Amino acid sequence: MRRRLFLLLATTAPTVLYAAEPAATARGAIASLEERLKAGLKVQAPADVAFCDRVIDAVRAGKLPGQVVDSTYLWAVRRGKKYPFPAFRVAILAKAERLGIRL
């Protein structure tokens, strides 16, 4: 049941989370992003956790658009693989490179 709620929020909330709102809501959106990335991508290895932290820091700093991270996350999860993190990593690095961002 908890996973259904998580997936529902992950698929419907991304466009709402990054709207111009007060800073308190933005902090909540970042925490939600962290939870989504680490739980939804089934991150286990310390190097993978560190990579997710770098992505989250880039979103917090405003370097990497949150919608890019959300769309890449959803793409990786919807692929239906047991462990979606490797696909996410490759895709987000490619998108960041196209935007001129170094992760």
Q: In the chain, where are the structural domains located?
A: 2-98
Token pair of 81, please?
A: 């693989």
> Rounded distance, CA 90 to CA 76, Å?
10
Strand, coil or helix: 61 = coil
pLDDT of res. 32? 79
Say yes or no to pLDDT of 92 above 80. Answer: yes
Asked whether the whole model's pTM tops 0.85, one would answer: no
Say yes or no to pLDDT of 87 above 80. Answer: yes
Token pair of 38, please?
A: 């680490």
Q: What is the share, in percent, of the chain residues with pLDDT greater than 90?
A: 61
pLDDT tens readout for residues 6-50: 555 566 555 444 443 344 445 555 557 889 999 999 999 999 999
pLDDT of res. 99? 93
Say yes or no to pLDDT of 88 above 90. Answer: yes
> Rounded distance, CA 67 to CA 14, Å?
7
Say yes or no to pLDDT of 53 above 80. Answer: yes
CB atoms within 10 A of CB 59: 22
Q: Give the containing element (helix H, strand E) for 69.
A: helix 66-78
User: How far apart, in Å, do the first and last CA atoms of the chain sit?
Assistant: 34
